[in-house]
Amino acid sequence: MTAARTAVLRAADAELLAGARLRAARMQPYLASAVFALVPVPEPGYGTFGVDRWWRVYVDMEVARAWGVEATAAVLLHEAHHLVRDHHGRADRLPVTAGQARQWNLAGDAAINDDLVADGVALPDPVLPHHLGLEGGGLEEVYFRELLREHDGPGHESCGSGAGGPPLPVEIDGDPDDPAAPGVDDVDAGAIRRAVAHDVVAARDRGAPVSPGLARWAQDLLTPQVPWRRLLRSALGRSVRSVSSRPHPDWTRPDRRADSRPDFPQAGTRREHPEVAVVIDTSASMTPSLLSAAVTEINALLHRSGVGEVTVVVCDCTAARPQRVRRLGRLTLSGGGGTDLRIGIAAAAATRPAPSVIVVLTDGWTPWPGAAPARSTLIAVVIGPDAPLPRGRGVVALRIAEPR
């Protein structure tokens, strides 16, 4: 790596870069905080732009002059997206090994460029998901797993440690507090990300065009993250316990206090085992891995709570005949059409004995009833990051999604 230092841009280059920053801020106003936080480091002969994890952007101004203001602005946005989306932090958490860094960088580039091109940003020679045999609109982690299965792919230069790749040969060896090589530390970077996320959500709410991937990232960043398994255990356990802990009168059992008051006969009590129904959405858009994880977790929770059998209704736009099963994992799921789970919920509520708890596993793209069926709790487990959560009397909703 090079020694810790930054050089001053020539007047003409500084003017070009300032113009590109302003243009980038007009292209995607919600990224302005990130674009203007970048610390430019001129690197003649480098051949492109790249970023390190301290928000230094390494710029070859000869290439920028060839690109012009518009394309340079687009590339600045691309590099800012790497940092805003915390690609280096996400690579550490996966973790991405040195041998996998190229695939991770490609995955990040494809996800960013897909959003930028959809927003009308003209990038020079962008790598897009379809160039890699991938579907558009995906997450970086999903693209990464797909790319790991491929042995070959298009040649690709690293965007630097700020994109989760290995440090570039031109990267400065120094922390962000070094006055000779200033950068943005983790605390300030976190504040910038939150500011950008707020700007993204505000832009989306007022109807401005915001790519779905970026809107999803912003919403997730601003929403407190609680492990979905903990939420599911809490919701399902609380609903099951509310039934099993409630005593019910039973005249077939003597009252324990009958001997003390023989003139006032009273019924004995018994504990009920809760009846649980599970409605499973089998529409084609369900995420198989998360559906499997949710089924496994629910199965374990029910058995720990003493629930021996459950009623299962498989549903897309029609409800299949209810099944009584001891283990959810033994079901063979079929379907793949549209979705209206109100039909499945009504079918589950109509079974006998009537369920006190109805658990719905779905991707959320369905009409919902305005409230839970009478004398029951409806637990809606929405699988995926985008669909709205249902609300209503007796409805408990939670979301499970791939990590970002």
Q: Is the pTM of this model over 0.85?
A: no
Domains and CATH numbers, the chain: 11-222 (no CATH), 228-254+267-400 (3.40.50)
Over the chain, what HEC string results? CECCCCCCCCHHHHHHHHHHHHHHHHHCHHHHHHHHHCEEEECCCCCCEEECCCCEEEECHHHHHHHCHHHHHHHHHHHHHHHHCCHHHHHHHCCCCHHHHHHHHHHHHHHHHHHHHHCCCCCCCCCCHHHHCCCCCCCHHHHHHHHHCCCCCCCCCCCCHHHCCCCCCCCECCCCCCCCCCCCCHHHHHHHHHHHHHHHHHHHHCCCCCCHHHHHHHHHHHCCCCCHHHHHHHHHHHHHHHHHCCEEEEEEEECCCHHHCCCCCCEEEEECCCCEEEEEECCCCCCHHHHHHHHHHHHHHHHHCCCCCEEEEEECCCECCCEEECCHHHCCCCCCCCCCHHHHHHHHHCCCCCCCEEEEEECCCCCCCCECCCCCEEEEEEECCCCCCCCCECEEEEEECCCC
Closest CA to 4 of 56, 45, 49: 56
- What's the pLDDT score for residue 257? 60
- 40: which 2 tokens? 């430019």
- What's the pLDDT score for residue 243? 64
User: In order along the chain (404 residues), what is the average pLDDT of each group of 10 residues?
Assistant: 60 95 96 95 93 94 96 97 93 87 92 93 93 88 85 63 86 77 87 92 89 80 72 80 61 60 60 81 69 78 77 83 78 61 94 92 88 92 80 88 57
- What's the pLDDT score for residue 253? 59
- What's the pLDDT score for residue 1? 42
- What's the pLDDT score for residue 193? 93
